Amino acid sequence: MTNGPGNRPTYDQWSSILDEGSFEEVYDALETVVAHLEDAHLPLADALACYELGMRLAARCDRYLQEAELRISRLDEDTARAAADDDPLADDFEQSRL
């Protein structure tokens, strides 16, 4: 990946990471943006651009995490349902609760 001036990724590269990057790639990009924001010599316009990009990267990371949490919840529900279907005592327990 060829970077722009200052060895920073270009806008197209950031966009590609946002659109197609894995969670790890997006998270690494977010860490890079945070490091740039922590640079005391960053001009205001660049700082604002980094902040905006950082917010977009953070939102993308959040979506990845929400999707993962949903998948885990569904797997847990499926596993519990399958275990209940295989356990005749679970049916007795459910009947006794009624």
What are the boundaries of each domain within the chain?
A: 10-97
Q: What is the CA radius of gyration of the chain?
A: 23
* Average pLDDT of the residues of the chain: 83
Residues of the chain above pLDDT 90, percent: 50
- Report which of residues 94 and 78 the model is more confident about: 78
Number of H helices and E strands in the chain, helices first, is 4, 0
Average pLDDT over residues 13-31: 92
How high is the pLDDT of residue 40? 79
- CA dist 20 and 10 (Å) reads 15
- CA dist 56 and 26 (Å) reads 10
How high is the pLDDT of residue 56? 96
Average pLDDT over residues 17-39: 93
pTM of the model as a whole = 0.71
